[in-house]
Structure 1
Amino acid sequence: MIIICLLFVFIDKSFTDMNRTMSLRHFRAFVAVATTGSFTIAAKQLFLTQSALTATIQQFEDNIGFKLFDRSTRRVVMTPEAERFLPQAEHILRQFDSAVADLESLAQGRRGHVRIAAAASVTHYFLGNAIATLRADYPEITVSLHDAASEQVERMVEQGEVDFAFASPHKQREELIYTPLFEDRFGLVCRHDHRYAKGRRAMRWSELSAEDYIGFTADTGIGAYLRQHADRSDLFAHSGNEVSNTSSLGAILKWTEGYSVLPALAASRITGPHLVFRPLSSPTLIRQVHLVTRKLRALSPGSELFVDYMLRTLRQTPVPDGVRVLAKG
């Protein structure tokens, strides 16, 4: 952008100093005649009549105060002054055309930098694929991805540290817009040999023991949601065991006899041979993950393009039981 600004300042100053009628049209006409050695060929290249091209060159010469070409019936030859000026004119046109191409690419989303914050489960299940697909189609778009707790995510969007986020609402800030993407059901996660792993029916919240519960900190979307909706204050006592991300939780559950409560998509990151997921009921709790953007702040073309790729990935990716896609389009 600095190059573009300097280029336009240079062109504007040069033209103003000469004559306000000067424009890039004169430069293009001069370069076309100089490189072809013919008014006839140059006029065809520029889609002008020969008389219009001749008038443009004449106007250029009048403004700069010297002749550019010596004309004869058979050939057009540059003057020494024109020969010295030609490389500069070609450079100015290349810089201008390149600057315009950069602006068009930026406007069409073909290049740029996109800053995203997202919950870890969203990154694991959807974002990685969306980023890979976008980069394959638009290699000049780069991405910064921040893995942060929901409270931090909202602050980052509000303060412009990221362009948008994929996360659960935490404080429902007035300055932000929350667009639902998907929802998933909460259930318990434990080792396959844990007593809660036996049985197929959904377990009730009232059946859960507080003793071996491993919770999420209050600044996370999961932790904040459960404290507000689970109606089991004994599970969230300050003396209890807590983690701030699912990766840490998976490592702890693998080697302990504890259990935790997670949404189905987050649980899919860590369940497998060692850990199992079992839905919870009475009440059945559902979390929503939203696209979080800032009010009165339009997304850049690159950001809009990325959101389109994310929504396409979201609709095309098979999801675990307990997850329901809400995004439209």
Structure 2
Amino acid sequence: MAPCAFSIKQIFFQITSEKLKSMAIKIEALRTFVHVADAGNIKDAADVLGRTQSAISMTLKLIEERLCGALFETDRKQNLTDLGKHVYQVAVGALRDFDQANANISSYAQGQTGLLRIASVPSVASLLIPEALRDFALARPDAQIELIDTDSTDVQKLVLSGQVDLGIAGIQILNSEMDVKPLFDDRFNIVCLKENALAQMKKPLEWTDLSDCKLIMNETLRGILVPEIQSQLVNSRLSVRNVTSLIAMVQANLGITVLPSLATLYLPSGLVALPVNGPHSTRQVWIMHKESKLRSPISIKFQNHLEVKIKEFAVKYGLELYPN
């Protein structure tokens, strides 16, 4: 004889499971009961629920059959039995919890709640992100937002490790594990003291003008692939990653540096930002996320929001946009 496909234990559990399912009272049935109890009659409850009176009566009957007891003292549905009072109390709490859970799930799915984690280069994090977040966060009072400002190298590491949802940074080499999209171009500026010889020059500045200057190295300079900059990487005595500290070093006359124009809009008095002309005189800023990571709804919403806001920022701060 061929072996039985299901054991007796499996069949028992299947039958028990089906029986429990048939005994369960559906949440919408409880909602119907609560409406009838609140209204004191079937007609008014049917009007509120948009159902027929016969459908309401059938729902109440099914509940009573499952509970083996009456919910109302009479057919007029004005007074609850002891069983009905208990069911009403439990049902009101269950409906409140169900509706709240449903609202929370829907809100998350629509990008209204959740955790948004962003890593950005400092110039964007300090200037553009706050403006972009202002109305975005105001419309989402229950959302949580974390912002990390760091250099482009670390931004990419945070994206690839999954520690942030979105990264905003420059990219030297495209990584197949990241989905990237260009946002804008930003010009490079030389930052120096007003008394520096570069600030006195009457011609447009080029990278060759920096050959004999004391450069304070930073992540921006390391990404500028021109001989005049790269030749100084090895010999530079001072390297600073933090923009605030970098500007302080220039103020102390320890050298000059190069920063994106966004980072030079509000320099301290005594310093100037001088535009550079020629090849590699702009940086490309990209928005990125990990290709293999399923994105949260709120991160998608924010990226869409930021891409719209960038058009305003381009006019306000002189950025060059990429075509859509």
In structure 2, what is the Cα distance between the partners aligned to 1:201 and 1:130? 37
In structure 1, what is the Cα distance between the partners aligned to 2:37 and 2:317? 67
Q: Judging changes above 3 Å, is the alpha-carbon distance between structure 1 residues 56 and 320 closer, same or farther for their aligned structure 2 residues?
A: closer
RMSD in angstroms over aligned alpha carbons? 2.4
Q: Judging changes above 3 Å, is the alpha-carbon distance between structure 1 residues 75 and 113 closer, same or farther for their aligned structure 2 residues?
A: closer
1:312-323 alignment runs, 5 A limit? 312-317=308-313, 318-320=315-317, 323=319
Kindly provide the amino acid, as one letter, of the partner of residue 305 in structure 2. Answer: Y
Q: Given the alignment of the two structures, is residue 67 of structure 1 paired with residue 64 of structure 2, yes or no?
A: no
In structure 2, what is the Cα distance between the partners aligned to 1:75 and 1:262? 76
In structure 2, what is the Cα distance between the partners aligned to 1:19 and 1:32? 23
2:281 to 270, 275, 285: 285
In structure 1, what is the Cα distance between the partners aligned to 2:18 and 2:164? 41
Contact 1:167 1:290 in 2 (8 A): yes
Match of 1:5 in 2: none
SS in 1 for 2:51: coil
Match of 1:36 in 2: 39
Kindly provide the amino acid, as one letter, of the partner of residue 35 in structure 2. Answer: A
Deviation readout 1:38-74 (Å, 9 max, x if unpaired): 11111112111111111111111111111111224x5
Q: CA deviation at 1:266?
A: 2.5
Contact 1:157 1:165 in 2 (8 A): yes
Q: Given the alignment of the two structures, is residue 154 of structure 1 paired with residue 156 of structure 2, yes or no?
A: yes
Contact 2:37 2:77 in 1 (8 A): no
Identity of aligned residues (%): 28
Q: Given the alignment of the two structures, is residue 253 of structure 1 paired with residue 250 of structure 2, yes or no?
A: yes
Match of 2:50 in 1: 47
Match of 2:13 in 1: none
TM-score (norm 2): 0.87
- Structure 2 gap segments, 5+ residues each: 1-15
Number of equivalences: 308
In structure 2, what is the Cα distance between the partners aligned to 1:69 and 1:299? 50
1:74-89 alignment runs, 5 A limit? 76-89=78-91
Q: CA deviation at 1:273?
A: 2.8
1:96-107 alignment runs, 5 A limit? 96-107=98-109
Contact 1:15 1:23 in 2 (8 A): no
Higher mean displacement: 166-175 or 113-122: 166-175
In structure 1, what is the Cα distance between the partners aligned to 2:17 and 2:28? 14
1:302-317 alignment runs, 5 A limit? 302-317=298-313
Match of 1:224 in 2: 222
In structure 2, what is the Cα distance between the partners aligned to 1:120 and 1:205? 24
In structure 1, what is the Cα distance between the partners aligned to 2:239 and 2:303? 33
Contact 1:311 1:327 in 2 (8 A): no
Determine which structure has the larger strand proportion and give its number: 1
Q: CA deviation at 1:188?
A: 1.5
Contact 1:117 1:153 in 2 (8 A): yes
Q: Given the alignment of the two structures, is residue 324 of structure 1 paired with residue 320 of structure 2, yes or no?
A: yes
In structure 2, what is the Cα distance between the partners aligned to 1:320 and 1:198? 25
2:110 to 96, 108, 113: 108
In structure 2, what is the Cα distance between the partners aligned to 1:20 and 1:75? 23
Q: CA deviation at 1:130?
A: 1.0
Deviation readout 1:105-163 (Å, 9 max, x if unpaired): 11122212100000000012210111122122222222100112222211111111000
In structure 1, what is the Cα distance between the partners aligned to 2:304 and 2:279? 35
Q: CA deviation at 1:86?
A: 1.2
In structure 2, what is the Cα distance between the partners aligned to 1:35 and 1:320? 60
In structure 2, what is the Cα distance between the partners aligned to 1:284 and 1:86? 72
In structure 1, what is the Cα distance between the partners aligned to 2:196 and 2:94? 73
In structure 2, what is the Cα distance between the partners aligned to 1:15 and 1:138? 42
In structure 1, what is the Cα distance between the partners aligned to 2:227 and 2:131? 33
Match of 1:6 in 2: none
Kindly provide the amino acid, as one letter, of the partner of residue 273 in structure 1. Answer: S
SS in 2 for 1:201: coil
Q: CA deviation at 1:171?
A: 4.1
- Structure 1 gap segments, 5+ residues each: 1-12
